[in-house]
């Protein structure tokens, strides 16, 4: 199933992230991998910020230089990865990505395409793309892999 949402602002993108988190919570899902895709500056971190807000988390920032930020959420944690600087699956393995997959929590991966086969086959894919009609408009497409 594929769902498309139009976002006209960072607040709309955050709201889309928050909605996904609420859906997962309502379904009783305690473990999920969300693969975020989109060019630089398109709103991936805004999506994570909204997602995390649904779990009572504030202060979300991009983990570009740390690769992963862990946040204590209620009822489950959020593991926010930025794979932009990851060159290959060996690097991802070396930072313990597989350990995160074994834990309860929501893994949100910016630049997920750099994760290769390390990402679980069962995941939610969120593509965020700019539109040509408005510099602030985004199309957010969500699907299950």
pLDDT, tens only, 40-67: 999 999 999 999 999 999 999 887 778 8
pLDDT tens column, 81-134: 999 988 888 888 888 999 999 999 999 999 999 988 889 999 999 999 999 888
Query: Is residue 139 exposed (0-12), middle (13-18) or buried (19+ Cβ within 10 Å)?
Result: middle
- What Rg value do the Cα atoms of the chain yield, rounded? 14
Nearest to 13 by CA among 73, 60, 67: 60
CA distance 135 to 124: 26
DSSP state of 127: E
pLDDT at residue 142 greater than cutoff 90:
yes
pTM of the model: 0.93
């Amino acid at each position: 199933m594929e769902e498309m949402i139009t976002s006209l602002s960072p607040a709309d993108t955050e709201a889309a992230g928050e909605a996904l988190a609420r859906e997962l919570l309502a379904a009783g899902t305690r473990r999920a991998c969300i693969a975020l895709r989109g060019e630089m500056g398109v709103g991936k971190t805004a999506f994570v910020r909204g997602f995390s807000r649904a779990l009572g988390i504030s202060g979300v920032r991009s983990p570009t230089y740390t690769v992963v930020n862990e946040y204590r959420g209620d009822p489950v944690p959020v593991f926010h990865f930025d794979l932009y600087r990851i060159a290959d699956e060996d690097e991802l393995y070396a930072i313990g990505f597989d350990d995160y997959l074994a834990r309860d929590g929501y893994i949100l991966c910016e630049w997920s395409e750099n994760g290769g086969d390390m990402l679980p086959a069962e995941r939610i894919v969120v593509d965020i793309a700019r539109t040509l009609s408005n510099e602030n408009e985004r199309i957010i497409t969500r699907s299950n892999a």
